Homo-oligomer: A and B are copies of this chain.
Amino acid sequence: MADKESDLGLTVKKDQDFSEWYHQLLAKADVLDQRYPLQGFPAYGRFGFPAHDRIIKILEDLLDASGHEKCYFPLLVPESLMSKEKQHIRGFEKEVFWVTHGGLEKLNERLAIRPTSEMPMYETIRNWIRSYNDLPLKIYQSCTVYRYETKHTRPLLRGREILWNEAHTSHATREEAAAQIVEGVRIYKELFRRICIPSLFLNVLDVFAGAEEAIEPYGIYPDGRGLEIGSVNNLGQRFAKALDVKFKKEDGTDDYAYQTCYGISMRLLATVISVHGDDHGMVLPPEIAPVQAVIVPIVFKGKEKEVLDACQKVEKQLRDAGVRVRLDDSANTAGYKFNHWELRGVPVRIEIGPRDLEKSSFTLVKRTGGKKSAKLADVVKEVTKAFGEIFSEMSVKAEAYQKARIRDAATITAIKEFLDTGFARIAWCGKLECAQKLEKNVEAGLLGHEYEAPVPHGKKCIICDSAAKHYGYVGRTY
């Protein structure tokens, strides 16, 4: 990853070949390394993992602030426990990695590596929930889950080791669980806003194994394909009944808890990269960028010391102000350094040369475009201001990006035409049979209808011509 060759930059443009651009970028920008000898298990590098980690940290703060508590539950699940909820195990049986041996011994029972954590969590929290006083119980964990994917794997989008955060809540009534779903979506929308990615939440047709209802945010990628980038699930009492998560109500009778769960993964980082990246590399929101500002000395013979001293002073000032800053004093040329750090999505570049110093100034370059000269005395203020501008510019871009990728279609022909660049939005009666009929015709999925969208009054379902109840979204997925 650190060899010179990789720093020559991307050899393909994003608009020309998104897939090739994406793979090159991940490798060359030290986001991840696919050379590990196990399919679907990349190693996460120095400019990938810390960005993902910061996304998770923003979410954890939002979860903490809304009364969720951080816990951790076991990776391994005995087969007998894994099989307690029939629909759940059926949904995952082709995807579970099984442990059969410990050291030189064969185990008495096979152990599943968690493909998701409902079973270990609910097996445990049924002991934590005795009465309505213990509810709601809102917990989460940031961990990894594992799926033996048979589909084509794609780094960050579909792998066998998934880095994610999952929240699980238990409630005394169906109404409280329904309200929690609303909170879950609100939390994710706020997270998406903070990391500058567009939000499209759908009530989906294809729900999580064991759930009653699922609302999923979708990411639409530059090649027009979409992918769910999270899910918010209403589990009803199904898992509670399978795992005996019971509580005593205020009136003294027993009931099973009403549960919800919601999760997001490193697909969010994939979305940030795909929406904002350009032909020079990654573009990262300052809040999640592993390095927020890089200082590049512009060295002229005889002025080296003066320039380097000024750079070190700026580095210290920024570091003391809490900025994640790097001074690149390597032997490489300035041009090489510019490319190197642009590729890695560093939001702000500071250039300091003899001519800047004559004016007690520095040059500030934003990764989103724009270059200015400012006084050295104002460096912290200017850099902080630039972070705010970059965030705003990326937010505007995200909205425009999404707008260009969702188009209203009134005919099958129009739908087909739109699928190469994004999703088609249609008037839909809401019936499954119409969805299935449509899917055969357009070779793309009717994924679901928009969450909390207005009813399309007066419109007709474009398949059966009866009154439309929803805006349906049709798209190709990975």
Chain A residues in the interface with B (C-beta under 8 A): 1-4, 33, 35-38, 41-46, 49-50, 53, 69-78, 81, 93-105, 110-111, 113, 120-121, 123-124, 127-130, 133-134, 139, 141, 144, 146, 148, 150, 161, 163, 290, 330
Q: CB distance B93 to A128 under 8 Å?
A: no
Cα distance, A146 to B101, chains bound together (Å): 13
- Interface residues of chain A: helix, strand, loop or mixed (majority): mixed
Closest Cβ neighbor of A144 among chain B residues = B75
> How many angstroms from the CA of A72 to the CA of B69 in the assembled complex?
24
**Contact: A37 with B103, CB < 8 Å?**
no
Contacts of A129 on B, CB cut-off 8 Å? 2
Residues of chain B with a CB closer than 8 A to A42's CB: 74
Tell me the smallest distance from the CB of A42 to a CB of chain B, in Å: 8
User: CA–CA, A36 to B388, complex, Å?
Assistant: 47
**C-alpha gap A148/B105 in the complex (Å):** 10
| Chain B residues near A330 (CB-CB < 8 A) | 133
Closest B-chain residue to A30, C-beta based? Answer: B128
Complex Cα distance, B4 from A177, in Å, reads 25
Copies in the complex: 2
CB distance from A66 to the nearest CB of B (A): 13
Docked CA distance A274–B144 (Å): 30
In the bound complex, residues from chain B placing their C-beta under 8 Å from that of A104 are 93-94
Question: Which residues of the other chain, B, contact A76 by a CB distance below 8 angstroms?
Answer: 38, 41, 97, 146, 161
Q: A44 is contacted by which of B72, B99, B111 (Cβ under 8 Å)?
A: B72
The answer, among B2, B43, B100, for a CB contact under 8 Å with A98, is B100
Cβ of A103 and Cβ of B93 under 8 Å apart? yes
Contact A33 B124 (CB under 8 A): yes
Cross-chain contact A123 with B37 (CB below 8 angstroms): yes
Contacts of A43 in B (CB 8 A): 71-74, 120-121, 124
Given A38-B78, A41-B74, A98-B102: 13 more A-B contacts, CB < 8 Å: A2-B129, A2-B133, A33-B128, A36-B73, A43-B71, A46-B69, A49-B70, A75-B146, A76-B161, A93-B103, A97-B102, A97-B111, A98-B99
**Which single member of B49, B74, B110 contacts A71 (CB below 8 Å)?**
B49
| Chain B residues whose C-beta falls within 8 Å of the C-beta of A113 in the assembled complex | 99, 113
* Chain B nearest Cβ from A87, distance in angstroms: 17
Q: Is the CB of A81 within 8 A of B49?
A: no
A3-B104 Cα distance, complex, nearest whole Å: 41
* A128–B32 alpha-carbon span in the complex (Å): 11
Chain B residues whose CB sits within 8 angstroms of the CB of A74 once the complex forms: 36, 38, 41-43, 161
Determine the residue in chain B with the shortest Cβ distance to A57: B57
**Shortest Cβ distance from A184 into chain B, in angstroms?**
19
Contact of A49 among B1, B72, B161 (CB under 8 A): B72
Interchain CA distance A101-B77 in the complex, whole Å: 15
In the bound assembly, the distance between CA atoms of A290 and B95 in angstroms comes to: 36
What B residues does A49 contact at CB under 8 A?
Answer: 70-72, 141
Which residues from chain B contact A128 at a C-beta distance below 8 Å? 1-2, 33, 45
Give 7 nearest A-B pairs by CB, closest first: A102-B148, A44-B72, A41-B74, A94-B103, A98-B101, A43-B124, A46-B69
